Chain A
Amino acid sequence: MPIVTDSGFVFADETDALLSLDAMLSGGGDPAGGLEIANDTDPRDLVPHFEAVGLIAVTFPNFADGRGFSLARRLRALGYKGRLRAKGHVISDQYPMARACGFDEVEIDETLAARQPEQHWLAVATRSGHALQARA
């Protein structure tokens, strides 16, 4: 699965290492390899685990469902400093938004990557999602 970063696609074979929230809360594995959460997760439940979690991936079931953006902002507001990934149906036009909300990277599937290749993402990577705020 391609991971989109500011410098382009990175191919990492780590997806099966991600723990589910239930598995982590029931002590069923080491979250150091990463945790995957749904976009309706209450981030307050995760606060005690922030130090132990190596990566949090927030799933985007559909690009039009913007909950993940607010969840990312909440995780950052609650003090999460680790790696944060948007995973699923995120389109290239949303990359600057994801970055501005606190995500470090985006994970998409092969089909989407074929439709929206690396240069589409690089073209917007440096664009501020919110130029009017750049002034403040």
Chain B
Amino acid sequence: MYRYDEFDDRFVRERVASFRSQVERRLSGALTEDEFKPLRLQNGLYLQLHAYMLRVAIPYGTLNSPQMLQLAMIAERWDKGYGHFTTRQNIQFNWPKLQDVPAILEALADVGMHAIQTSGNCIRNVTADHFAGAAADEIEDPRPTAEILRQWSSGHPEFAFLPRKFKIAVTGSPNDRAVTKAHDIGLRMVRNAAGEPGYEVIVGGGLGRTPMIGKVIREFLPKADLLAYLESVLRVYNLYGRRDNKYKARIKILVHESKLETIRAEVEAEFERLMAEEAGPTRALSAAEVARIEAYFAPPAFDDLPDSDAGLEAALAADQDFRAWVKTNIVAHRQSGYRIVTVSIKPIGKAPGDASADQMRALADIAERYSLGELRVSHEQNIVLPHVRAADLPEVFACLQKADLATANIGLITDIIACPGMDYCALATARSIPVAQDIANHFNSPALAAEIGKLQIKISGCINACGHHHVGHIGILGLEKGGIESYQITLGGDATETTAIGERAGPGFAYDEVVPAVRRLVDAYLALRTDANETFLQTYRRLGAAPFKAALYPADIGGSGSGAGGGWPKAKAGPSLSASAQVQQAAHSQYVFYHF
């Protein structure tokens, strides 16, 4: 893991000091509210619905046990005893007091953490594959790249006042767990024909109100050119990105409106100029610097172990709950005898991603004892123990059970991503956490969830799409229509290397119609799949949207209340929308997405 040296430490301490000074100057009137706002945001401080919210960066989702303990301490001392892990591998504290924020930032600096650039129109916390350094399919560890980008982007003097926020994700595996195609820049670590390491650079992806899949702007970028190339992309964006309309200010709109070829030519020209500069601040990505950073991410001291373990096999045979948990929450490790454990922060019926201080301490302790002191935060809002010995799995499971963290639902229908929504977010148009809770409660039978298999539901509380609903197999978007919540369902989204934006199914559903609607989709899938090995997404791709739409909008329901209780209506073949549903759909056209 990366550890701060004196430069990092000085940098974050200076930032704390300047934030203190900014707060004072705001109070004295030297800074206007307009001037203070972006400074506050770039230090991670949002003004939410009920209070301030502090968003702390967990760079590329990696943290160690002492850092997790410190987060628990902060949650307890300055918040209400819990924190919320987000879809961008950050943690948010929802109730800090403004006057406590500098002290919280100091406490973070004490363990080599910060809240810098977790908000505002700047380069945000860089995300990466949460299985980095452990995944069996990894070509190369993406964390040194992500750390280099963290250092380059933190306090970058040129890019603190961009047209809009800018998100970068890195993956080192062919199986993309970092959603690189839905970021402003996505980097995929690849090898060229000569076997040299480099990056495929993807630009202009993003969700939000105009979801777009990123496009490849450079097929192969040699590793040493990374910063110069990214600086070129950012400069072109900073100069030409739209500033007249915040909803059209992301780089995806620039790429869309100016065409990829034009942007590529501009970037390449800028890149050439930069490389020709005598002593640009960015060109110097020296081999020595790369080696220095890479050394921090050298593989930990793994023991030489056989891959299977007799104790583990015995526990699997004896304990059904353990078996179910191993089936869903464990994946292969690159090192023989080790496994990657994903701890679900989605116990049935709780707010997805919320963890109490006690749970954070339990996780820190388990990581210290069983995962070489390391933890990861996944963009699915779960916690990963990256390096657990196979033989230790039964004990880890027992410890997690004690901390109420042993839910066996990773990748299943109850492992829902939901944004904070109306419960916390000032921009929300609908509730999102309670919808997730209702769905999880409905499908709370582990046997049913296991029968349904891999199914990702993602929920956003407004069109800003922080819950990534566009890339959920089933996406749910909460809107507001005449003062009433209305939930739009999208189908067939995909957040992996085969990224797809979900298709809008039709008219929206009232709050209490959402669970029955999801149930009808699930029943349709169970009836339509070839066998238990065909996932929801595979069935959807094989048959298209029609049978699922038919299940969502059976003629006798017509998009209005389906009634509670009793048997759920079964899927029917292809009725068209009822007249009332069509009217409702027309009324929804104001919410149509801009699919270009």
Contacts and interface: CB of A to CB of B under 8 A. Distances in A.
Partners in one complex: yes
Contact of A70 (B11, B158, B273): B158
Given A77-B277, A133-B152, A136-B284, A120 B30 contact: yes
A131 B11 contact: yes
A63 B161 contact: yes
A100 B159 CA distance: 11
A131 B14 contact: yes
B30 A116 contact: yes
Contact of A134 (B7, B22, B152, B160): B7
A136 B238 contact: no
B157 A124 contact: no
A99 to B, nearest CB: 8
Given A120-B25, A124-B18, A135-B7, A65 B31 contact: no
Interface string B1-44: 00001011011001000100110010001111011001100000
Interface string B256-276: 000000000000001001100
B239 interface: yes
A69 B39 contact: no
Interface residues of B, number: 44
B155 A129 contact: yes
Interface in B150-183: 151-152, 154-162
Interface residues of A, number: 36
Contacts of B158: 66, 69-70, 73, 97, 100-101
11 contacts: A63-B161, A65-B243, A66-B121, A70-B239, A74-B235, A77-B277, A120-B25, A130-B281, A132-B154, A136-B286, A136-B289
Interface of B: 5, 7-8, 10-11, 14, 18, 21-22, 25, 29-32, 34-35, 38-39, 121, 151-152, 154-162, 235, 238-239, 243, 270, 273-274, 277, 280-281, 284-286, 289
Given A101-B157, A130-B154, A132-B155, 8 more contacts: A64-B121, A70-B238, A74-B273, A94-B161, A130-B157, A132-B7, A132-B152, A133-B151
Q: Which 9 A-B pairs have the closest CB atoms?
A: A66-B161, A100-B157, A131-B11, A129-B157, A97-B157, A132-B151, A70-B238, A135-B7, A69-B158
Interface of A: 40, 63-67, 69-71, 73-74, 77-78, 91, 93-94, 96-101, 115-116, 120, 123-124, 127, 129-136
